[in-house]
A and B are shown apart, each in its own frame.
Chain A
Amino acid sequence: MKDIRIESDKGFFGQFGGRYSAEILRPVLLELEEAFCKYIKDKNFLNEFNDTLKNFVGRPTPLLFAENATRELGGANIYLKLEGLANTGAHKINNAIGQALLAKKMGKTRIIAETGAGQHGLATACACARLGLECEVFMGEVDIARQRPNVFWMELFGAKVTPVTSGTKTLKDAVNAALREWSERKMDTHYLLGSALGPYPFPDMVREFQSVIGRETREQFNEQKGGLPEVLIACVGGGSNSIGFFSEFLNENSVRMIGAEAGGKGDKPGENASRIAGPGTLGIVQGYKSLFLQDDEGQLLPTHSISAGLDYAGIGPQLAYLAQIGRVEFTSEKDSEVIEAFKFFAKTEGIIAALESSHALSSCIKIAKKIGKGKNIIVNISGRGDKDIFITASAMNDNKWFQFLKDEVKRHEQKNK
């Protein structure tokens, strides 16, 4: 197999990617490209980035041999990369720190960001608090409603959380709102995009800042077990955790890579967010060319996933390319399977995975048995699941939890009387 190019070729991964932005964003994207290309090779910048990852984010995050789960499933050895143990509870902080530092080098004083599950918004708000930058986060109204805890924390960090009430009121609309805000105010503002998508240079930049996940994993696995794993599995929304996890291994032909997409409630349009495992087709939306869930007329379709972070109609261009050339396989995991996987790893390993990451765990359960003993699978647990307690408690029909919420509201009201 020919070597796979990790960086884009002038913004393109095969036919995917590019910079299809309105003219208004062209100057600021060129400025960003120039700064990124300069600083990603700058020793002082990288030292500062790595120091912050170590001392503030808490890297390296552990690689855990999931002994109990391995035994119970009776198949391949399962290893878990615990990105959820990073500050703010997910891999999103790696990119947030990287871009916030870069924005400071560029002389920007204000950061805007979009967020779906709230993890990227939370990470951005956290990075801004730490680095002394003003922060505004755009978040769909639907996502605000289902991820209130993250909104609370973002506001604690001093960020302004602006509800997006247009369109489907989820992640894609938050991206639109942030792009629009950036068009209006770009002199002092950097748009800190959280996923490996959007116009060039974002897909390259986000992958580079997330690639620490794969580099650590390789070293840790080699230390613990020796050699390379047979399989890597990560969940895929836009694709930031998966591309950061995979990129280090792309040219290791023996390593199989699997992206787990949101299978949602079913196969009908609007019931899931499976682009590659589902019926995604080529389109040009939000500044990049990739596969999107869209109708025959090019209108994006609504999506659904139990996890807000995977609830998005497009996929990062590099992953679309890697799927096309057969380097990364994609599966689709149903909401109900995801909850089962979530419960299984909580019970066997004491790990509360985010619902996003539980998609990768669901895929792991299926594959571990299939590929059999002696082989090694590493799953990237991109985030921890504390933030999902309202959703998981509801999915598990835990009435005691909802009684607690009612009582809590009563206690609060009595206190304020």
Chain B
Amino acid sequence: MNKKTNDKIKEIKNSGRIGFMGHVIAGFPDFSSSLQAAMGICEGGSDFLEIQFPFSDPTADGPTIEGACYKALENGFKIKDGFKLIEELNKKSDTIILIMTYANIIFKYGIENFVEKSVDAGASGLIIPDVPIERDEGLNEIASKNRIDNILIATPGDSAERIRELSKAGSGFLYTVARRGITGKKSEFNKEAKEWFELVKNNSTLPIAVGFGIRTKEQIRQLKDYCDIAIMGSHLVNIINDACQNKKDIKNELKLTVENLLN
């Protein structure tokens, strides 16, 4: 496990709280706004920040994040901007940065090259939903060699055995989703979701992060019984979008949002 991530999770466990991970899309709606948003999330007290590098065909994302990815690409997002964003953040914040993107982005770039650039920029982990462990194009080995976490995703429908397999193959933590399906719709936990969280908790050898559909402080509080880190994705993207549309101070808006969620 990446040392920064390891230390952070230890600290979270020791203090008996639940960790928080925010999400921004690099270059959405443009480079400087996304940097402002990311800085706000970090200053608000986020333990982790997932930075998504936009892809033209993000099949594992819901319409909110998909739309934001298109906007970022329309505005000229390039991979080097994503790395630059991480470098800038690392100068000012000690929030742990993870990169989320799709197989084709790292494959076309060259996986080894992408991993090295990620480490140089200061990222601690990678989340690539469409690289399966059965055929990972060397990602796991390259990531491990470069001491960056290859964070795997477990989803409802996975068996106990599959959860054990994923937590053994991955590193950092196991990223799980709360609902069947994709990001961004509906939100309270039902019986099915709770059973799923229990299954993950009982079988994962890694710390657990839960995401997809989280919007409120209450939900984060509820999650504490099941996992180590709560992930907030599309809700933050909506707030960023709203802040930009209404010409608010993006950094401050995001900072306040995260502070309110965590205090």
Complex formed: what's the CA distance from A20 to B103 in Å? 8
Chain A residues near B153 (CB-CB < 8 A): 22-23
Q: Does A348 contact B (CB under 8 A)?
A: no
Chain B residues near A185 (CB-CB < 8 A): 180-181
Chain A residues near B166 (CB-CB < 8 A): 23
Complex formed: what's the CA distance from A88 to B220 in Å? 52
Interface of A is mostly: mixed
Please count the residue pairs between chain A and chain B whose beta carbons lie under 8 angstroms apart in the complex.
109
- Tell me how far the C-beta of B98 lies from the nearest C-beta in chain A, rounded to whole angstroms: 17
Complex partner residue of A284 from B78, B107, B182, CB under 8 angstroms:
B107
Are B57 and A287 touching (Cβ within 8 A)?
A: no
Are B155 and A22 touching (Cβ within 8 A)?
A: yes
Complex formed: what's the CA distance from A287 to B59 in Å? 9
Chain B residues near A282 (CB-CB < 8 A): 107
Are B59 and A298 touching (Cβ within 8 A)?
A: no
Are A300 and B59 touching (Cβ within 8 A)?
A: no
Complex formed: what's the CA distance from A190 to B55 in Å? 26
Q: How large is the interface on B (under 10, 10 to 19, 20 to 34, 35 or more residues)?
A: 35 or more
Within 8 A of B (CB), among A61-115: none
Q: Does A296 contact B (CB under 8 A)?
A: yes
Complex partner residue of B130 from A21, A180, A298, A299, CB under 8 angstroms:
A21
Are B108 and A166 touching (Cβ within 8 A)?
A: no
Complex formed: what's the CA distance from A296 to B109 in Å? 8
Complex partner residue of A26 from B56, B70, B132, CB under 8 angstroms:
B132
Chain B residues near A166 (CB-CB < 8 A): 63, 66-67, 70
In the complex, which residue of chain A has the Cβ closest to the Cβ of B131?
A20
Chain B residues near A176 (CB-CB < 8 A): 57-59, 66
Within 8 A of B (CB), among A272-312: 281-287, 292, 294, 296-300
Chain B residues near A283 (CB-CB < 8 A): 104, 107-108
Chain A 159-187, CB-CB to B under 8 Å as 1, else 0, gives: 00000001100001100100110011110
Within 8 A of A (CB), among B37-72: 55-60, 62-63, 66-67, 70
Chain A residues near B109 (CB-CB < 8 A): 297-298
- Tell me how far the C-beta of B249 lies from the nearest C-beta in chain A, rounded to whole angstroms: 29
Complex formed: what's the CA distance from A286 to B102 in Å? 10
Chain B residues near A19 (CB-CB < 8 A): 132, 134-135
Known: A19-B135, A298-B108, A298-B109. A24 touches B57 (CB 8 A): no
Known: A20-B132, A172-B57. A27 touches B104 (CB 8 A): no
Are A286 and B55 touching (Cβ within 8 A)?
A: no
Are B158 and A27 touching (Cβ within 8 A)?
A: yes
Are B135 and A180 touching (Cβ within 8 A)?
A: no
Chain B residues near A286 (CB-CB < 8 A): 57, 59
Q: Does B177 contact A (CB under 8 A)?
A: yes
Chain A residues near B78 (CB-CB < 8 A): 297
Q: Does B16 contact A (CB under 8 A)?
A: no
Are B135 and A20 touching (Cβ within 8 A)?
A: yes
Complex formed: what's the CA distance from A49 to B166 in Å? 39
Complex formed: what's the CA distance from A173 to B59 in Å? 9
Are B177 and A24 touching (Cβ within 8 A)?
A: yes
Complex partner residue of B104 from A18, A23, A173, A284, CB under 8 angstroms:
A284
Within 8 A of A (CB), among B94-150: 103-105, 107-109, 129-132, 134-135, 137
In the complex, besides A282-B107, A299-B55, 19 extra interface pairs with C-beta distance below 8 angstroms are A19-B132, A20-B132, A23-B153, A23-B158, A24-B182, A28-B157, A166-B63, A179-B59, A183-B181, A183-B182, A284-B103, A284-B131, A286-B57, A286-B59, A287-B130, A297-B79, A298-B109, A299-B56, A299-B73
Please give the residue numbers on chain A whose beta carbons come within 8 Å of chain B beta carbons, in ascending order.
18-24, 26-28, 166-167, 172-173, 176, 179-180, 183-186, 281-287, 292, 294, 296-300
List the 4 shortest-distance A-B pairs measured between CB atoms, nearest first: A298-B108, A184-B181, A24-B155, A27-B157
